[in-house]
């Protein structure tokens, strides 16, 4: 019983802090850059993605024995698109303001590489319980990462965090942080800081390789490293 528990914790921890996208593994960049003008939008985007990720991985995992190998990608896509449409209508109905800001990035969860990646790499081969743990880890990891990116941009760009004023009145907000340029810079700086921290941790003689640009999923659904994957 104790060993089984350890397995679940391990599955959960992978996405939650070991390989958290988009900061520790460069995956799911588009929403991470586009909607993170404030912490609350990052949080909403992350939770919506988590819902789709958890629901679709558990469903796929339950039916994993009945999904033919050749047609699995269209089947995965239909399952993901179904849950995306559900969350789209739920947000539109109950949180119209958030839905307006997230805009087309809600339907675009369908092509989020994290989701197809977890289904292909994990849920299609593992039990629903383990898939749930894995999906929760990746989903909540993505959520905290987006909230942090949104928080940094909100703090520097508007002087607030979650809408609360935190900087002194003398601080002039750097409005550039709310523009697309600020999104790229925040992301670049965070990725650089994390690499630096990892290199320190790995010691001087064993310098950690910089983060790799994530996997891109081809039409055949086999995860493959992006062309000319990043190396030091």
Partner 1 sequence: MTELLLLFVGSALVNNFLLTRFLGICPFLGVTRELKAGVSMGIAVTSVMVASVLVLWPLYNLALAPLGLGFLQNMLFILVIAALVQFLEMVIKRAFPSLYTAFGIYLPLITTNCAILGLALLMVGNEYTFLQSLVFAVGSGAGVTLAMGMMAAIREELEFADVPQSLQGPGIALITAGIMALSFMGFAGLGS
Binding positions for partner 1, 12-41, rule CB under 8 A? 26, 29-31, 33-34
Stretch of residues binding partner 1 (CB under 8 A), selected from 2-10, 63-71, 166-174, 222-230 = 222-230
**Rounded distance, CA 77 to CA 199, Å?**
38
* Closer of 4 and 200 to partner 1 (Cβ): 200
Alpha helices (runs of H) in the chain, residue ranges in sequence order: 2-13, 29-34, 39-62, 72-94, 96-102, 113-118, 128-158, 180-202
Stretch of residues binding partner 1 (CB under 8 A), selected from 8-16, 152-160, 167-175, 224-232 = 224-232
Stretch of residues binding partner 1 (CB under 8 A), selected from 53-61, 130-138, 152-160, 178-186 = 178-186
Alpha helices (runs of H) in 159-213, residue ranges in sequence order: 180-202
169: phi then psi, degrees, rounded to nearest 5: -60, -25
Which position among 6, 9, 189, 202 is part of the footprint of partner 1 (CB under 8 A)?
189
DSSP 123: I
217: phi then psi, degrees, rounded to nearest 5: -100, 120
Q: Does 67 help bind partner 1 (rule: CB under 8 A)?
A: no
Residue 130 to residues 6, 8, 10, 101, 202, Cα–Cα distance (Å): 11, 6, 10, 34, 30
Q: Does 228 help bind partner 1 (rule: CB under 8 A)?
A: yes
Q: Does 211 help bind partner 1 (rule: CB under 8 A)?
A: yes
* Closer of 46 and 182 to partner 1 (Cβ): 182
Tell the smallest beta-carbon distance from residue 121 to partner 1 (Å). Answer: 14
Binding positions for partner 1, 89-118, rule CB under 8 A? 89, 104, 107-108, 110-113, 116
Residue burial 92-118, b: 16+ Cβ < 10 Å; e: rest:
eeeeeebbeebeebbeebbebbbbbbb
Query: Which residue in this structure is represented by tokens 């939770």?
Result: 47
* Closer of 163 and 229 to partner 1 (Cβ): 229
Nearest-CA neighbor of 24 among 226, 214, 230?
214
Task: Summarize as ranges the residues that interact with partner 1 (CB under 8 A).
Answer: 26, 29-31, 33-34, 73-74, 77-78, 81-82, 84-85, 88-89, 104, 107-108, 110-113, 116, 176, 179-185, 187-189, 191-193, 195-196, 199, 207, 210-214, 216-220, 226-232
């Amino acid at each position: 019983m104790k060993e089984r528990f350890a397995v679940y914790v391990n599955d959960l921890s992978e996405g939650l802090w070991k390989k958290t996208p988009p900061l520790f593994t460069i995956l799911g960049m588009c929403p991470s850059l586009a909607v993170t003008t404030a912490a609350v939008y990052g949080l909403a985007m992350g939770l919506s993605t988590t819902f789709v990720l958890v629901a679709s991985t558990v469903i796929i995992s339950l039916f994993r024995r009945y999904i033919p190998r050749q047609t699995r990608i269209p089947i995965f896509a239909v399952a993901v698109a179904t849950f995306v449409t559900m969350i789209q209508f739920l947000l539109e109905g109950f949180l119209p303001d958030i839905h307006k800001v997230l805009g087309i990035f809600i339907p675009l969860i369908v092509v989020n590489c994290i989701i197809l990646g977890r289904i292909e790499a994990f849920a299609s081969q593992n039990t629903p319980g383990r898939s749930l743990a894995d999906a929760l880890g990746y989903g909540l990891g993505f959520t905290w990462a987006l909230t942090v990116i949104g928080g940094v941009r909100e703090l520097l760009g508007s002087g607030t965090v979650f809408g609360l004023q935190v900087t002194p009145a003398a601080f002039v907000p750097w409005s550039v942080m709310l523009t697309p340029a600020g999104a790229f810079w925040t992301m670049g700086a965070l990725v650089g800081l994390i690499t630096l921290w990892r290199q320190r941790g790995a010691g001087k003689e064993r310098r950690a390789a910089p983060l790799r640009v994530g996997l891109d999923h081809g039409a055949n659904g086999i995860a493959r490293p992006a062309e000319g994957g990043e190396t030091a």
